């Protein structure tokens, strides 16, 4: 990379000029800000103690030496204590010639090392996937793509929360008020049908609490003593005791949900290498809890419940098993973590889970550590912000969530309306139009969510996400289609791109595009290092924006010089390939024409 080359040469020159060993931390090369002339900047202020000269004099002295001794540097300018270096066109020409035909440009060789296991999605089988799950799935899927592109071995896993009190709430409501309703009889997707009964349970539960309070019971006690909740808890106990009737109902209703999930995953373009089920892992978790009791790192209370005391580590006491012997969420998470360690021995286990679970994962690591599982140091919680709507937060129990299926359809419908109004699909038949609307709608949704740093919350507005101008998915998709259109028009004139054809001098806009294209491998590495698809998304926008400036200001197919046409056509193809690769890392498809 040119940054490393310039840094190495600058370090040698500084030591040569001032004759002292200068700490490498004092020498840094960064990109020159857009408002100044130059490509890379050396900040000289940290060097003044060694140079014993003014910032400007120091910068000029280093600049003269760099221009004289480094063939890649053709010019420089000084702005106060900033030395701005201009990289020779020959360097950019060699880069283009070497990488133009590289189908794997931006991809790093896979390292021979232990894998990274990424858990994402992790739905509950008591409700359909909603907007919050969409962010989770998109982050996990894109992160897996990025880590693979950065040379890491990746295993994508899903943990389905298919047991527990929430699932029993849906089951109990269906048993009481379902009258044998099925996805076939109702015409509903299975996950949406089960979610309907989860909401129904909450409605009747709240009504019962209200009645108990009116009869003089304390609110906190009413929430615990409500007969509906106690019935659900009893159902969970019977499930863990393998009650055949309860188990059969559980298997049937979960089967409905899995079919519904598959439809949603397929439309989102999400897949997994392995799916775990909490119903399989919670027993292993119980064994670990019993092990902890035996080793006296956990303790039992008089009621039989099992706890871990973390007060000495700044936390509190954590329940690991209820008094009736049933498991809690952390019980199965202990078992699942152990199972993944045994199966993959990963160098890192990344959990993509919302920031409301920060405390949970802090506790999980500490509990595993108390059990002597030092490999828990390799566990990482990728905590992301919540997705909110203009009208406020979503609540599954109250049925105020934005259903993922409804959202995807709304995005496709909005894409249809916007695209037809702009006349960008007039030459398409009905089937081609539908494919385009789907691609644009999902591209808008995915890009809007992934361009935001994972740690930040999102206020999602579907209408803002579908815009053919600005930092949006459709803008980048349209830019890619523009590069493909140029190639088709050129082919009609029997003109093809040729990486060997390079002009003697670059137009400033050609140079600007090449400089951004050059950064793609480093951007992939940065996104992997920071576990942030937003790095890829915003780079892709910058490249698309710069290419459109080039397209508007430089004649591509209209130049009198055919060699210029061939080069600019090749540059357009190169940019298109990078845009496509970058969008694929985000899980977004791009259209060949619009």
Q: What is the pLDDT of residue 387?
A: 83
| Dist. CA 286–CA 328, nearest whole Å | 10
Average pLDDT, integer, range 15-40: 88
Per residue in 546-570, pLDDT (tens digit) is 999 999 999 898 877 888 999 999 9
Domain with CATH 1.10.730.10 in the chain: 404-585
What's the pLDDT band for 470 if we cut at 50, 70, 90? confident
| Mean per-residue pLDDT, 338-360 | 95
| Beta-bridge mates of residue 349 | 117, 379
Dihedral, CA of residue 486, residue 489, residue 490 and residue 493, to nearest 10: -170
Residue 221 has pLDDT above 90, yes or no: yes
The token pair at 69 is: 């001794």
Mean pLDDT of 410-420: 89
- Terminal Cα-to-Cα distance of the chain (whole angstroms): 36
Q: What is the DSSP string of 162-204?
A: -SSHHHHHHHHHHHHH-TT--HHHHT--HHHHHHHHHHHHHHH
Region of residue 345 (phi > 0: left; psi between -120 and 50: alpha; otherwise: beta)? left
**Percent of the chain at pLDDT above 70?**
98
516-542 average pLDDT score: 97
Say what the pLDDT of residue 397 is.
Answer: 43
**Mean predicted confidence (pLDDT) in 308-337:** 91
Reply yes or no on whether the pLDDT at 525 is more than 90: yes
Predicted pLDDT of residue 352? 97
Contact (Cβ atoms closer than 8 angstroms) between residue 497 and residue 570: yes
CB atoms within 10 A of CB 395: 11
Backbone angles phi, psi at 451, to 5 degrees: -75, -15
Instruction: Give all strands (DSSP E) within 120-172, no chain letters.
Output: 154-160
Residue with the bigger pLDDT between 405 and 388: it is: 405
C-alpha dihedral over 61, 63, 64, 69, to 10 degrees?
120
Q: How far apart are CA 13 and CA 345, in angstroms?
A: 46
Q: Which CATH class is domain 120-285+324-388?
A: alpha beta
pLDDT at 577 over 80: yes
For residue 290, what are the CA distances in angstroms to 302, 334, 352, 361? 16, 12, 28, 20
Q: What is the pLDDT of residue 403?
A: 87
Residues of the chain with CATH 3.30.1360.70: 2-87
Distance of CA 296 to the CA centre of its chain: 40
Contact 112, 347 (CB under 8 A): no
Tell me the average pLDDT across 124-153. 95
What percent of the chain has a predicted confidence (pLDDT) above 90?
79
pLDDT bin (cut points 50, 70, 90) of residue 422 is: confident
For residue 396, pLDDT beyond 60: no
The pLDDT score that the predictor gives to residue 284 is 93
Q: What is the pLDDT of residue 207?
A: 95
Within the chain, all domains assigned CATH 3.40.50.620 are found at 120-285+324-388
Helix (H) or strand (E) segment spanning residue 120: none
Q: What is the pLDDT of residue 399?
A: 47
Fold for the domain defined by 404-585? Isoleucyl-tRNA Synthetase; Domain 1 (1.10.730)
pLDDT of 400 reads 54
Q: CA nearest 511: which of 452, 553, 460, 540?
A: 553
Tell me the per-residue pLDDT of 362-375, one tens digit each, with 9 for 90 and over: 999 999 999 999 99
Q: Crossing angle for the helix pair 520-530 and 131-149, nearest 10 degrees?
A: 120
Between residues 498 and 273, which one has the greater pLDDT?
Answer: 273
Are the C-beta atoms of residues 326 and 240 closer than 8 Å to each other?
yes
The pLDDT, as a whole number, for residue 391 is: 60
- Cβ-proximal residues to 563 (8 Å cutoff; 6+ apart), any chain: 501, 503
Mean pLDDT score across all residues of the chain: 92
Q: Residue 272 has which token pair?
A: 């997994």
Quick one: average pLDDT of 87-112?
92
Contacts of residue 406, defined as CB under 8 A and 6 or more positions apart, other chains included, come to none
Structure tokens at 429: 């038949």
**Residues in Cβ contact with 4 at an 8 Å cutoff, skipping those fewer than 6 apart:** none
Question: How far apart, in whole angstroms, are the C-alpha atoms of residue 506 and residue 147?
Answer: 34
Residue with the bigger pLDDT between 176 and 427: it is 176
Q: How far apart are CA 576 and CA 551, in angstroms?
A: 13
pLDDT at 394 (0 to 100): 42
The pair of structure tokens assigned to 340 is: 């993944």
C-alpha–C-alpha distance, residues 382 and 362, integer Å: 12
pLDDT digits over 274-304, tens only? 999 999 888 899 999 999 999 999 999 999 9
Backbone φ and ψ for 467, nearest 5 degrees, come out as: -150, 135
Question: What mean pLDDT is predicted for residues 489-493?
Answer: 93
In CATH terms, the fold of domain 2-87 is: Gyrase A; domain 2 (3.30.1360)
Could you give the 3-state DSSP secondary structure of residue 377? helix
Amino acid 549: pLDDT: 96
Query: Per-residue pLDDT averaged across 481-504, rounded?
Result: 92
Quote the pTM value: 0.91
Q: Residue 261 corresponds to which tokens in the numbers above?
A: 């999930």
């Amino acid at each position: 990379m040119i940054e490393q080359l310039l840094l190495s040469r600058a370090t040698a020159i500084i030591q040569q000029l001032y004759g002292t060993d200068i700490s490498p931390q004092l020498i840094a090369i960064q990109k020159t800000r857009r408002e100044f002339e130059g490509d890379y900047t050396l900040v000289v202020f940290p060097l003044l103690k060694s140079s014993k000269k003014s910032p400007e004099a120091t910068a000029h002295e280093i600049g003269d030496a760099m221009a004289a001794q480094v063939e890649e540097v053709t010019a420089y300018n000084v702005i106060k204590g900033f030395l701005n270096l201009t990289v020779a066109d020959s360097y950019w020409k060699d880069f283009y010639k070497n990488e133009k035909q590289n189908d794997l440009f931006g991809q790093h060789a896979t390292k021979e090392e232990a894998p990274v296991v990424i858990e994402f999605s992790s739905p509950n089988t008591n409700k359909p996937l909603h907007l919050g799950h969409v962010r989770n799935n998109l982050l996990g899927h894109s992160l897996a793509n990025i880590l693979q592109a950065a040379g890491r071995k990746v295993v994508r896993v899903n943990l389905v929360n298919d047991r527990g009190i929430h699932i029993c709430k849906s089951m109990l409501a269906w048993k009481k008020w379902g009258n044998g309703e099925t996805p076939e009889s109702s015409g509903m997707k299975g996950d949406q049908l089960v979610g309907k009964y989860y909401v129904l349970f909450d409605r009747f539960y709240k009504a019962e609490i209200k009645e108990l309070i009116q009869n003089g019971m304390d609110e906190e006690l009413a929430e615990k003593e409500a007969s509906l909740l106690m019935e659900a808890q009893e159902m969970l106990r019977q499930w863990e005791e393998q009650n055949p009737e309860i188990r059969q109902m559980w298997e049937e209703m979960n089967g409905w949900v899995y079919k519904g999930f598959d439809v949603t995953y397929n439309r989102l373009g999400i897949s997994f290498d392995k799916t775990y089920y909490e119903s399989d892992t919670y027993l292993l978790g119980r064994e670990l809890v019993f092990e902890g009791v035996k080793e006296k790192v956990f303790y039992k209370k008089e009621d039989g419940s099992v706890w871990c005391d973390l007060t000495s580590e700044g936390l509190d006491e954590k329940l690991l098993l209820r008094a009736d012997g049933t498991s809690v969420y952390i019980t199965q998470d202990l078992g699942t973590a152990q199972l993944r360690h045994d199966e993959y021995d990963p160098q890192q286990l990344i959990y993509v889970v919302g920031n409301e679970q920060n405390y949970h994962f802090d506790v999980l690591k500490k509990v595993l550590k108390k059990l002597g599982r030092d490999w828990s140091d390799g566990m990482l919680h990728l905590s992301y912000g919540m997705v909110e709507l203009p009208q406020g937060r979503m609540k599954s129990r109250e049925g105020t969530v934005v259903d993922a299926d409804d959202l995807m359809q709304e995005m496709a419908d909005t894409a249809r309306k916007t695209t037809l109004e702009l006349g960008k699909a007039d030459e398409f038949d009905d089937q081609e139009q539908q494919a385009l609307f789907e691609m644009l709608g999902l591209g808008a949704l995915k890009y809007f969510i992934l361009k935001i740093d994972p740690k930040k919350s999102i206020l999602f507005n579907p209408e803002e996400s579908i815009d053919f101008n600005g930092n949006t998915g459709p803008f980048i998709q349209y830019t890619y289609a523009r590069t493909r259109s140029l190639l088709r028009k050129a082919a009609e004139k029997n003109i093809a791109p040729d990486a060997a054809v390079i002009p003697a001098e670059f137009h400033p806009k050609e140079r600007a595009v090449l400089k951004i294209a050059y950064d793609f491998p480093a951007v992939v590495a940065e996104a992997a290092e920071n576990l942030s698809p937003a790095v890829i998304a915003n780079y892709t926008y910058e490249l698309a924006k710069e290419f459109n400036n080039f397209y508007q200001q430089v004649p591509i197919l209209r130049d009198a010089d055919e060699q210029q046409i061939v080069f600019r056509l090749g540059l357009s193809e190169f940019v298109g390939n990078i845009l496509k690769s970058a969008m694929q890392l985000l899980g977004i498809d791009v259209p060949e024409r619009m």
